[in-house]
Amino acid sequence: MTEVRSAIAALLHELYDTDIPVVLTRPDAAFGDFATNVALQLAGKLGRNPRDIAEELATRLISLDSVGAAEVAGPGFINIRLNDTALTELARSTPRAKDDSSSVVIETNNPNPFKAMHIGHALNSITADAIANLLDERYGHVFRVSYHGDVGLHVGKSMWALLRFVDGDAARLTSVPQDERNTFMSRMYAEGSRAYKEDDIAKSEIAELARKSFTRDDPLYAAVYDTIFAWSFTEIDSVMQRLGCKPVERRFLESDADLRGVKIVREHVPDIFQESDGALIFKGSDHGTFDNAFVSSNGQGLYAARDLGLMQLKSEQYHPNKSYIITAEEQRDYFKGVLAAAALCFPEQKDVTVNISTGTLKLTTGKMSSRDGDVVTIEWLFDQINEAIHARGGKATPDIAAGALRYAFLRVRVGSDIIFDINEAVSIQGNSGPYLQYAHARACSILGKATNDRGGQESTTATLEDGERKLLLKISEYSEILERATSELMPHHICTYLYELAQEFNRFYEHSRIIGDEREAIRVGLVRQYQETLAGGLRVLGIVALETM
């Protein structure tokens, strides 16, 4: 394919003295393997009929060894069909090598301790994990990090309710059974949250407890804090594992970033930050977003200052070529401001850090929120998925449940809203994770029965039948798809492709006998290539490629 593309480029140079980029697309299979519209693009420039130009190019292309056919169609497209040998080679081509010296950091905006996790966290983590897998294809070192709010007002709210619960004795926390800790923590947060809103006395107590989250110098406070902190991360780790997300390299805490963030801000007053009503603010309104306070009027570092400190920490530890922060779209404008401020504070790192925002996750019943404690938990989600799988007579293993959920989130373009219809998300047939897992298991089953599997080497010389060729053509597309997904950081391209690939295989499988057929050698080779391609794509998505199910 690269040969064909450069051959066309050479022809354009020779015949028309032009160097317009040659784009080869994958047209409808009925047209050919590849298509190009260069003739249409050239027609205007040359003042000639596009079909004439296309004819000239096509006649020259046919003489290439790898080209089986080249025809002009429609207004002036050139449809190219490779010969079977060239197609076979193309399908074996491996993705380009990565740059070992490069490194990248990706931060997933993970859940805060002291608060409940909800399915929005699952979306964020899964998206970040898949993007990290894509980055792995290109960068030598990919550092996955997370960042958690261990200090501040939300801690104060939880601590207010927790301290009332323990009533002077931190040991009372042991009365909470392990499997109820998550709901317990979210209940405590909700109670504190309500009190903060409704009760002025509680409000000032909570403010004081929030301040204490930085010092934790009171023994009872510290004991309760440490226990809940540990519970939180046990819970977070286990949920991340259940979601199929790779563990993070390092967990950053807001308390790590707070002081250095404040220092950075103070060093840049008044050139970058200005004082306003006692607070230190950044005029985001000069940078396409809103003015935001980085340090409060009582001198405390705010979220934005901490993000600045965190950027510095990440930079010192990893020296990344690129640094990605995955957040919900609600934070888009906020990050625009933080990144604009960062570009001024650290001019040498301009454009290194990028914010990628996921869309909003909405239930068909409305948006979910953790502010009032009314959350849709990940636990609930897994229950629903397991139930749906059982209802269809399947075995609900953790790998299948995770596969279903990951695929449901990843098949949509990063950044667009996800309307979360539980029945849809939980689907295990059609365009779904389990469909792909099933397709993979089926291929493995066939391969296990094959007596003639020589790793796909035998199809080099043989002529391919129509169904075989269609499957091989689809397989050959993988490296292009991976390249696109990687450069755009859009995992959904992989989903779309894998589904089409599996469908193509299932069609092939319906019509072609594999084991025991006289073409077994060729077909088993194809199944092997298909299985490897599918497994590779699933690996990028973080979905387990099951051998049996």
| Span 507-546, contacts to RNA by CB under 7 A | 507, 509-515
* Alpha-carbon distance values, 57 to 14, 70, 289 (Å): 11, 9, 51
Binding positions for RNA, 153-172, rule CB under 7 A: 153-154
What gap in Å lies between CA 501 and CA 242, rounded to an integer? Answer: 27
**What are the φ/ψ torsions at residue 292 (nearest 5 degrees)?**
-140, 140
Stretch that binds RNA, among 5-13, 243-251, 416-424, 470-478 (CB under 7 A): 416-424
Binding positions for RNA, 362-381, rule CB under 7 A: 367
51 versus 141: smaller Cβ distance to RNA: 51
Is 415 one of the binding residues for RNA (CB under 7 A)? yes
**Pick from 65, 4, 6: which is nearest to 34 by CA?**
4
Contact residue for RNA among 10, 75, 215, 247 (CB under 7 A): 75
Binding positions for RNA, 112-151, rule CB under 7 A: 112, 149, 151
Is 296 one of the binding residues for RNA (CB under 7 A)? yes
Least distance from RNA to the Cβ atom of residue 348, Å? 26
What gap in Å lies between CA 162 and CA 114, rounded to an integer? Answer: 10
240: number of Cβ within 10 Å: 24
82 versus 142: smaller Cβ distance to RNA: 82
User: HSE on the CB side for 251, CA within 13 Å?
Assistant: 12
The helix-helix angle for 153-166 and 181-198 (nearest 10°) equals 110
User: Apex CA 303: angle with CA 302 and CA 305, to 5°?
Assistant: 70
Stretch that binds RNA, among 8-16, 180-188, 242-250, 296-304 (CB under 7 A): 296-304
Least distance from RNA to the Cβ atom of residue 14, Å? 21
Task: Provide the mask over 80-119, with x wherever binding to RNA is found by CB under 7 A and - wherever it is not.
Answer: --------------------------------x-------
Least distance from RNA to the Cβ atom of residue 228, Å? 15
Least distance from RNA to the Cβ atom of residue 118, Å? 13
197 versus 392: smaller Cβ distance to RNA: 392
Contact residue for RNA among 15, 27, 187, 223 (CB under 7 A): 27
Is 463 one of the binding residues for RNA (CB under 7 A)? no
**Pick from 119, 37, 122: which is nearest to 326 by CA?**
122
Is 398 one of the binding residues for RNA (CB under 7 A)? no
Least distance from RNA to the Cβ atom of residue 236, Å? 14
Least distance from RNA to the Cβ atom of residue 548, Å? 4
Is 490 one of the binding residues for RNA (CB under 7 A)? yes
* Alpha-carbon distance values, 78 to 1, 12, 196, 306 (Å): 14, 13, 68, 56
Is 43 one of the binding residues for RNA (CB under 7 A)? yes
Asked if residues 163 and 220 have their Cβ atoms less than 8 Å apart, the reply is: yes
DSSP line for 335-375: HHHHHHHHHHH-GGGTTTEEEEEE--EEETTEE--STTS--
Binding positions for RNA, 419-458, rule CB under 7 A: 419, 421, 423-424, 427-432, 434-435, 438, 441-442, 444-446, 449
E-strand spans in 99-210?
A: 99-108, 139-148
What gap in Å lies between CA 365 and CA 148, rounded to an integer? Answer: 29
User: Apex CA 113: angle with CA 107 and CA 117, to 5°?
Assistant: 80
Asked if residues 450 and 515 have their Cβ atoms less than 8 Å apart, the reply is: yes
210 versus 243: smaller Cβ distance to RNA: 210
Least distance from RNA to the Cβ atom of residue 400, Å? 5
Binding positions for RNA, 238-277, rule CB under 7 A: 254, 276-277
Binding positions for RNA, 491-510, rule CB under 7 A: 492-493, 496, 499, 502-503, 506-507, 509-510
Contact residue for RNA among 383, 392, 455, 463 (CB under 7 A): 392
136 versus 150: smaller Cβ distance to RNA: 150
Instruction: Decide: helix, strand or coil at residue 118.
Output: coil
Instruction: Decide: helix, strand or coil at residue 178.
Output: helix
Least distance from RNA to the Cβ atom of residue 151, Å? 7
Binding positions for RNA, 321-350, rule CB under 7 A: 329-334
Instruction: Decide: helix, strand or coil at residue 471.
Output: helix
373 versus 434: smaller Cβ distance to RNA: 434
**Which uninterrupted H or E stretch holds 535?**
helix 520-541
